Amino acid sequence: MVKIAFFETKDYDKAAFAPYEKAGETEFIFFETKLTEMTADLAKGCDAVCVFVNDNVSAAVIDKLYEYGVKIIALRCAGFNNVDVRHAYGKIHVVRVPAYSPYAVAEHTMALLLTSIRRIHKAYIRTRDFNFSLNGMTGFDLHGKTVGVVGTGRIGRVFIDICRGFGMNVIAYDAFPAADSGINYVSLDELFEKSDIISLHCPLTDDTRHMINAEAIEKMKKGVVILNTSRGALIDADALLDGIKARKVGAACLDVYEEEAALFFEDRSGHILNDERLARLISMPNVIVTSHQAFLTAEALNNIAETTMSNIRSYYENNGICDNELCYCDGRIDTLKKDRKEKCF
Ligand code: NAI
């Protein structure tokens, strides 16, 4: 019997995973709380823990889980900046879902962009109040505009295809440009200088933290639209606020926020928001915030559940060999290894 503790779960997670629970083979225990040092005890007696983007899988948490006999940490997501993979090496295997629907995230990014620049969010509220005025609703054509895409992996590339469908001129920056991709790569500075719209699709690392800061915004075109459906800390939110107040940034669409862990995924409508910066951002007429929702499609949830269960099964049925393992070896985290022939450790 493989016992799995799921942290940070909602009804839609339970519904997606329920078909994979097999009597006599697996037992699922769902917790609404996030995994933290304080809640790690809940995993006592479990073989695996399944976590999401805002669970805090620090070195201290890993040590506790290891002590309790947990063998696998299975991420139900692609990003792994919240897991100390290096500390887990040699103790607990860490697996993830590298791709579940790049379309879900790329399509949400375009939905945010169109909503923002065509004022759909305002029109929805106006017409419900029988206000049919068009004052203040002027947008702009996407056709012919330059979009700068930072990170041309799975999601970035789908977003590029969508933008090309709109007749946009696409330029891109990637620390590891894809050869023969037909993508017009430029330097990050050139991307900042030339883009009418900038969309972030790279992971959060020490190199990318606050890549959109005051200095970067200074280089951008007046009226630039900034889209972030990747990770909140790619943007220095104070610098973004300053850029908006100075009328330099024309609009921002944020599905992620640096301090989201304490806020997102919960109904806080009856509470006083004690994050002044987020409250100010949300109050801006040209800012749209969604609460880390870009992944949330039926297709993505099914793919997440299927891949997560197959990742966990591989530990028991495939001699511990899993292509989706985040294997810290040779001084770096190997995410790319395909057709692994041996265990990570
Ligand atoms: P991917 O791994 O396929 O692509 C990431 C790309 O970023 C790669 O081409 C890589 O070379 C590039 N990159 C790495 N370091 C870079 C740097 N310093 N500067 C510029 N580019 C760099 O990842 P994928 O699947 O496209 O996901 C991208 C990000 O989207 C994830 O890291 C995750 O943070 C975020 N995400 C957000 C979701 C949401 O619901 N909002 C859902 C899924 C992912």
Strands (DSSP E) contained in 32-99 are: 48-51, 72-75, 93-95
- pLDDT tens per residue, range 40-78: 999 999 999 999 999 999 999 999 999 999 999 999 999
Strands (DSSP E) contained in 12-131 are: 26-30, 48-51, 72-75, 93-95
**pLDDT confidence band for 329 (50 / 70 / 90):** confident
Q: What percent of the chain has pLDDT over 90?
A: 91
| Residue 226 bridge partners (DSSP) | 198, 252
Cα 204 from Cα 130, distance rounded (Å) = 44
Q: Which of 22-26, 286-290, 328-332 has the lowest mean pLDDT?
A: 328-332
- Judge contact between 47 and 28, C-beta under 8 A: no
Q: From the CB of 105, is ligand 1 less than 6 Å away?
A: yes
Q: From the CB of 78, is ligand 1 less than 6 Å away?
A: yes
Q: What pLDDT score was predicted for residue 331? A: 81
Q: From the CB of 123, is ligand 1 less than 6 Å away?
A: no
Angle at 7 between CA 300 and CA 63, to 5 degrees: 125
- pLDDT tens per residue, range 189-205: 999 999 999 999 999 99
Which residue has the least CA distance to atom 17 on ligand 1? 175
Distance 236 CA to ligand 1 centre (A): 18
- pLDDT tens per residue, range 90-149: 999 999 999 999 999 999 999 999 999 999 999 999 999 999 999 999 999 999 999 999
Q: What pLDDT score was predicted for residue 169? A: 98
| Cα 65 from chain centre | 25
- Judge contact between 88 and 328, C-beta under 8 A: yes
Distance 155 CA to ligand 1 centre (A): 7
Domains of the chain (ranges, CATH numbers): 2-100+298-334 (3.40.50.720), 102-289 (3.40.50.720)
- Report helix, strand or coil for 107: helix
What positions carry a catalytic annotation? Answer: 231, 260, 292
